[in-house]
Amino acid sequence: MISIILPVYNGSDFLKDCINSILGQDFQNFELIIVNDGSTDESESVIQNVTDNRVRYFSKSNTGLADTLNFGVLKSRFDYICRIDQDDLMRPDRLSKQIDYLLNNPKKMGVCSYSLKINTEGQIVGQLKPNMSRRWSTFQRIFLNDLVHSAMMLRKKNLLSLGGYTVEKDLQPPEDFELWSRYMHNYSDPFGIIPDFLTYYRITQNSMSRINPSIEQNSVSISLRNIAYLTNLNLDHTRILKSFLFNIHSRSGANYILEFTILNSLLLKIWSKVHIKYDLITFVRIGIFQIKYSFIKPIKHKLSFLLGL
């Protein structure tokens, strides 16, 4: 019933634990598709030591994460695609809870859960909680991605109808944010959220978000594409939004955005394209969203720089 796609690239450090968390699920009707994307470490040895007839192993030359995911999806035999990354873990009831949700919510194209952040020692260091508010999440996901890729389960037919993951260099990584954006362009309210911590998301120094220098600029490009899908903007407005989006996605810096009134009117205009009407709560939430990335983040960045953090 479920095809679990596990792409592997030099992931031997945590791969065994990841696989064990998958094989230990209380829902047993699944296949685990492991795709070795040209690893040069001991990953293949770890995989070949697994003896379980539900595991299907493929090895290929290195072509990157998005292409490897598409490879895995095309090899899958079942109707539901479950994602997991090589250093992450599943709680034993993850599959059963997510497949139950999709079976009982046929209009949803996929379902994501909450995730606990863990460090290399497996200690819990934080939480990742996608927004549960339909109105706010539809707006917020135009600008940023709060859905945890390795905590997502998708219906394969919709994923294939959208063409799978993009392999365009200027849009991936983040291949997940780009894909969620296309879902939202084509479907109304495509994703459900299970407010339970069903996965463990490991933070390491080799995480793609830390080592890939293009992920920030690509995220800005995806966000701008989402905005352009909704409304036409002149060049000045694009400049202001680019600065705002840079602040959202940058991990190394932030700039004060002084055109507060113009930016606020742009955000309200984008909201009206999504939801038509807005009320006092909307004004407040958009104002907080704007202040967070226009002023608070630059202040934090400046303080961190001055304090040498």
pLDDT digits (tens, 9 = 90+) for 2-30: 999 999 999 999 999 999 999 999 999 99
Do both 81 and 159 map to the same domain? Answer: yes
Measuring CA to CA, which residue among 34, 33, 30 is closest to residue 8? Answer: 34
Q: Give the range among 5-14, 65-74, 82-91, 165-174 with minimum mean pLDDT.
A: 165-174
Do both 200 and 262 map to the same domain? Answer: no
- Structure confidence by residue, pLDDT tens digits, 210-229: 557 789 999 999 999 999 98
Give the CATH number for residue 171. 3.90.550.10
Do both 78 and 124 map to the same domain? Answer: yes
**192 in a structural domain:** yes
Provide the whole-model pTM. 0.92
Do both 202 and 62 map to the same domain? Answer: yes
- Structure confidence by residue, pLDDT tens digits, 244-302: 999 999 988 888 988 999 999 999 999 999 887 888 888 999 999 999 999 999 998 88
Q: Which two tokens stand for residue 63?
A: 């072509």
Task: State residue 275's pLDDT score.
Answer: 85
Do both 57 and 195 map to the same domain? Answer: yes
- Structure confidence by residue, pLDDT tens digits, 86-121: 999 999 999 999 999 999 999 999 999 999 999 999
Q: Give the range among 99-108, 159-168, 230-239 with minimum mean pLDDT.
A: 230-239
Do both 133 and 253 map to the same domain? Answer: no
What is the count of structural domains for the chain? 2
Q: Which of 179, 210, 241 is the last residue of a domain?
A: 210
Residues of the domain holding 261: 231-307
Q: Which of 210, 245, 279 is the last residue of a domain?
A: 210
Do both 259 and 188 map to the same domain? Answer: no
Do both 283 and 172 map to the same domain? Answer: no
Task: State residue 206's pLDDT score.
Answer: 63
Alpha-carbon radius of gyration of the chain: 20
**177 in a structural domain:** yes
Do both 197 and 266 map to the same domain? Answer: no
Do both 43 and 133 map to the same domain? Answer: yes
Do both 196 and 236 map to the same domain? Answer: no
**225 in a structural domain:** no
**224 in a structural domain:** no
Do both 8 and 81 map to the same domain? Answer: yes
